C-alpha cells in the first residue's frame, strides 16, 4: 500500500525526517534497521504512525516488524481483542478524545499523586482511570468530568462519592483554593488546555502541584508553538513549570484509533506518549478565572449498546425529511483521521465508539431506534414498529436496518 503523509507542512516533514533518523540511530543505508516499527514510532516525538511509516518509506529505511506494530492482516481479530484488558468503563469514544492511560501509567501516576498529596485533597480533571486505584488507597479524591456516561460507569461499579459532572470551561467557585494536587489530561488542543489550566489555578491552594499531560512536539504541525502558548497561559494564571518528563505518560490505543490505523495496514498497539509537565501554583491570580472558555464542539446525544457508545446529533422534531445515510468520510465508513482537524468531522451525524461515522437525513428516527435498543428491543422489532406507526416508509426499512447493524455489530 502506498502511504501518504497526513501532515504535509514542509517544516514539519523536515523535523519528522530528523526525528525518524535519530530513532534509527546507527542505521546503515541499504540495510534494515535493528529497530522495530513500534520502537521507531514511539521515539518519533508523537508523530502519527501513518506519517512515521510514510517517512521511513520515503527515506528507504526498512525496519523489523513485531507484534506491537503488525500489519493488520497478520493479527487475528480474537488476538487483537485479547490485547485490551477488560475495563469498568464502556468503550472510549473519539468525540470525547478519550485516550486512556495504560495500566503502568495508571500505577505510576497513582503513586506520584499519593506521595505529593500527603493526605491533602486530589482533583482529577478528565483522568478517570486513576480514580478507582486512588479510592482503594483511601485518598481524598474528586473526579471532575463532563461525561455523564463515564461517571455512570463508575457509579455502576460502586463508586458513589467524589464524582462531579461539570464542564471545566466554566468556573467552579465552590471548590476554590481547596486542593493540594491536580492531575489533568485535557484533549490536546489549546482551548481545552486553557480551560483545564484556569480551573487548576482556581481549585489549587498556593503551593499546590499540577501534573499535566502535554502533547509532544511532533503531534501535529504547530504543536511546538502550541506548547509555548500553553506555558504562557499557565504563567498568566500563576502556574510555574517546575519539572518535565518527556514521554512518561503512555496511552492505550483506543478501538477507534485502531480502526483508523488498520485502514492503513497498521496495528500499532499503545504507541502514544505524552510529556508530563509539573506546575506549582506560586501565586493567586484572578486573571480570566471568572470568564468561561469557549470550546467549539458540537452537541451530541449519547446512547449505549453493550460496550459501545453511539453519539447522535440532536434532531429537529418537525423535520420530515425521509431517512437516508452515507459515510461521512469519502474513503469509507471508518473515519480515517481521528484528529479534530479532519475535514469530515463536521459532516458526522451519527458516530460509534469504534469509529463508524455517517451523515444522516431524517435523524429523529435514529434517536427513536437507539432509545428502543437501550430498552433491549431487537432491530427487526424496532423497524417493524416504526413502519406500523408510519414513522418510516417501506423503502427506507432496508437502509435503516443496514445502518443499525453496522453501528451495533
Ligand X SMILES: C[S@@+](CC[C@H](N)C(=O)[O-])C[C@H]1O[C@@H](n2cnc3c(N)ncnc32)[C@H](O)[C@@H]1O
* Residue 274: DSSP 8-state: E
Smallest distance from ligand X to CB 288, Å: 16
For ligand X, the nearest residue by Cβ is: 126
Q: How many residues does the chain have?
A: 409
Strand (E) or helix (H) holding 138:
none
What burial class does residue 294 get, using C-beta atoms within 10 Å of its C-beta: 0-12 exposed, 13-18 middle, 19+ buried?
exposed
* Residue number with CB closer to ligand X (55 or 110): 110
Cell numbers representing residue 177 in the block: 483554593
Smallest distance from ligand X to CB 170, Å: 8
* Residue number with CB closer to ligand X (304 or 377): 304
Smallest distance from ligand X to CB 116, Å: 18
Smallest distance from ligand X to CB 248, Å: 13
Residue 403: half-sphere exposure toward Cβ, Cα within 13 Å? 29
* Residue number with CB closer to ligand X (150 or 210): 150
Contact of 302 with 362, CB cutoff 8 Å: no
Cell numbers representing residue 164 in the block: 462531579
DSSP string, 159-181: --SSEEE--TTS--GGGTT-EEE
Q: Which residues of this chain interact with ligand X, rule CB under 6 A?
A: 96-101, 126-129, 145-147, 150, 167-169, 185-187, 195, 295
* Residue number with CB closer to ligand X (221 or 254): 254
* Residue number with CB closer to ligand X (251 or 325): 251
* Residue number with CB closer to ligand X (91 or 98): 98
Q: Calculate ∠ Cα 150-151-155, nearest 5°.
A: 120
Nearest to 278 by CA among 208, 220, 228: 208
Smallest distance from ligand X to CB 147, Å: 4
Smallest distance from ligand X to CB 102, Å: 9
Amino acid at each position: 500500500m502506498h502511504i501518504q503523509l497526513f501532515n504535509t507542512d514542509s517544516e514539519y516533514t523536515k523535523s519528522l525526517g530528523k526525528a525518524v533518523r535519530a530513532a534509527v540511530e546507527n542505521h546503515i543505508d541499504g540495510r534494515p534497521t535493528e529497530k522495530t516499527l513500534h520502537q521507531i514510532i514511539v521515539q518519533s516525538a508523537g508523530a502519527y504512525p501513518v506519517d512515521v511509516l510514510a517517512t521511513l518509506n520515503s527515506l528507504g529505511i526498512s525496519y523489523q516488524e513485531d507484534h506491537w506494530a503488525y500489519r493488520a492482516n497478520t493479527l487475528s481479530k480474537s488476538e487483537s481483542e485479547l490485547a485490551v484488558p477488560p475495563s469498568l468503563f464502556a468503550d472510549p469514544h473519539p468525540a470525547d478524545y478519550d485516550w486512556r492511560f495504560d495500566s503502568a501509567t495508571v500505577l505510576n501516576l497513582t503513586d506520584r499523586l499519593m506521595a505529593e498529596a500527603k493526605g491533602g485533597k486530589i482533583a482529577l480533571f478528565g483522568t478517570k482511570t486513576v480514580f478507582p486505584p486512588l479510592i482503594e488507597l483511601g485518598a481524598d479524591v474528586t473526579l471532575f468530568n463532563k461525561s455523564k456516561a463515564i461517571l455512570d460507569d463508575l457509579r455502576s461499579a460502586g463508586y458513589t462519592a467524589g464524582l462531579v459532572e461539570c464542564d471545566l470551561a466554566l468556573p467552579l467557585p465552590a471548590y476554590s483554593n481547596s486542593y493540594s494536587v491536580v492531575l489533568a489530561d485535557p484533549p490536546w488542543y489549546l482551548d481545552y488546555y486553557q480551560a483545564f489550566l484556569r480551573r487548576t489555578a482556581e481549585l489549587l491552594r498556593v503551593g499546590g502541584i499540577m501534573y499535566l499531560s502535554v502533547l509532544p512536539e511532533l503531534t501535529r504541525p504547530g504543536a511546538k508553538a502550541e506548547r509555548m502558548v500553553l506555558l504562557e497561559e499557565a504563567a498568566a494564571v500563576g502556574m510555574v513549570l517546575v519539572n518535565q518528563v518527556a514521554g512518561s505518560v503512555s496511552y492505550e490505543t483506543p478501538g477507534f484509533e485502531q480502526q483508523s490505523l488498520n485502514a492503513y495496514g497498521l496495528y500499532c498497539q499503545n504507541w502514544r506518549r505524552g510529556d508530563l509537565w509539573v506546575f506549582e501554583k506560586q501565586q493567586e491570580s484572578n486573571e480570566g478565572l471568572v470568564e468561561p472558555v469557549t470550546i467549539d464542539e458540537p452537541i451530541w446525544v449519547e446512547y449505549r449498546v453493550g460496550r459501545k457508545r453511539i453519539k447522535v446529533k440532536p434532531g429537529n422534531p418537525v423535520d420530515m425529511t425521509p431517512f437516508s445515510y452515507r459515510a461521512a468520510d469519502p474513503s469509507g465508513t471508518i473515519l480515517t483521521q481521528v484528529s479534530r482537524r479532519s475535514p469530515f468531522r463536521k459532516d458526522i451525524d451519527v458516530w460509534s465508539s469504534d469509529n463508524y461515522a455517517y451523515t444522516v437525513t431524517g435523524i429523529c428516527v435514529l434517536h427513536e431506534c437507539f432509545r428502543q435498543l437501550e430498552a433491549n428491543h431487537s432491530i427487526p422489532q424496532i423497524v417493524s414498529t416504526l413502519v406500523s406507526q408510519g414513522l418510516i416508509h417501506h423503502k427506507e426499512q432496508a437502509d435503516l436496518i443496514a445502518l443499525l447493524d453496522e453501528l451495533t455489530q
